[in-house]
Structure 1
């Protein structure tokens, strides 16, 4: 699996840059305030945290913005430099970052998950009644993997909307339609969230390959 950012960036507008890598314990490349945030973390968490910060700075430099610490706020979301929006994601063996100038896009959401099927006992936690009814109409062998795509797509939307609304949403607070062949999805809010009213719709992309589900959503 080649990690050059191209697969991730292909899911976003041209103004968005992407970086990918396998997690590594790059502690020497962190700012002191970043190292302090993971001082008591296990090595897996430290490697993921460090790698996405290194990737984020590479992306930011590509935008022509000076590198800076990217620490988590009290809500655990990363604080991007002034004039930059971005999203980070990581799963087993993978870290990814997307970033753009805030003058080009309002917010970004990226999510990557392992492509293994979601366990049936959690389907109703992830899916609304309408989504669950649709899932049960699919071929039995496909259902768990489609639920995983729904999970990832919703996560990408949550990440994109949060910097604009500062609202936490549950899995049933949005409902989505998924184009399994074309890799597109549409999310519809089932409740108000900040500036976005019930019924607001957002479009994104979700693809599967190399054992990963990758979802992307841009709010422009």
Structure 2
């Protein structure tokens, strides 16, 4: 499902069932020694997905260890993103010569927990959510907004090394096309000599999940 949101220069893998921890490298297993089972399963399976996606690029298996703020430590010359939620894990990777950034996120298709939307949505986004709920009922647009902002952050952080708050990007969704844009309200990263002022992405609602994805092309501002 995630592959439908990404260009053909991105390799993907997704899983609906968890893999055995035997698939982990020792250095990876050390990280989750004291973790609860849910965390262990997520950590393991998303790395199995990531290695399968990397294999499509001809890259040999290697540990994928968390780096700064938990971002995946990809092999040299690789960009990528991982996501997991109940019943779903996925990874998307590409060669750095093909693109500058990837951000993906999956969430269960249900309303956000009480109080979360106040942390996520800006005033103009509340208005857009109301219009979407009226025009396209049956979709939990608040959850999609959250997913999109997670994808924004995952695309943003490897390019900047900086935190991005939920309130520092403004999302506009285009449900008729399955696309969205994220206007950056703080100075953006520079790619190909130009500052990025907005990210463009795609989304889908299917099989009890919402998925969003952003790619930044090589040399594209």
Q: Please indicate, yes or no, whether the TM-score normalized by the shorter chain is above 0.5.
A: yes
Partner of 1:77: 71
C-alpha separation between the residues in 1 aligned to 2:123 and 2:205?
Answer: 24
Alignment of 1:57 onto 2:51: yes
| 1:187–1:203 Cα contact (<8 Å) kept | yes
Q: CA deviation at 1:202?
A: 1.4
Query: How big is each residue's C-alpha offset from its partner over 1:64-89, in whole Å with a ceiling of 9 and x where there is no partner?
Result: 11211100114211100111111100
Q: CA deviation at 1:181?
A: 2.0
Gaps of 5+ in 2: none
C-alpha change, 1:198 and 1:18, in structure 2 (3 Å) is closer
Q: How many residues align?
A: 214
Q: CA deviation at 1:134?
A: 2.3
Alpha-carbon RMSD: 2.1
TM-score, normalised by the number of residues in structure 1: 0.90
Deviates more, 1:73-82 or 1:137-146: 137-146
TM-score, normalised by the number of residues in structure 2: 0.90
Partner of 2:155: 160
Which of 121, 124, 127 lines up with 1:130 in the alignment? Answer: 124
Q: CA deviation at 1:25?
A: 4.9
Alignment of 1:211 onto 2:215: no
Partner of 1:18: 12
| 2:188–2:197 Cα contact (<8 Å) kept | no
Partner of 1:195: 190
C-alpha separation between the residues in 1 aligned to 2:95 and 2:195?
Answer: 28
C-alpha separation between the residues in 2 aligned to 1:98 and 1:198?
Answer: 24
Alignment of 1:183 onto 2:178: yes
| 1:123–1:132 Cα contact (<8 Å) kept | no
Q: CA deviation at 1:194?
A: 4.4
Partner of 1:173: 168
SS of the counterpart of 2:190?
A: coil
Gaps of 5+ in 1: 1-6
C-alpha separation between the residues in 2 aligned to 1:211 and 1:163?
Answer: 29
SS of the counterpart of 2:162?
A: coil
Q: CA deviation at 1:143?
A: 8.6
C-alpha change, 1:120 and 1:32, in structure 2 (3 Å) is closer
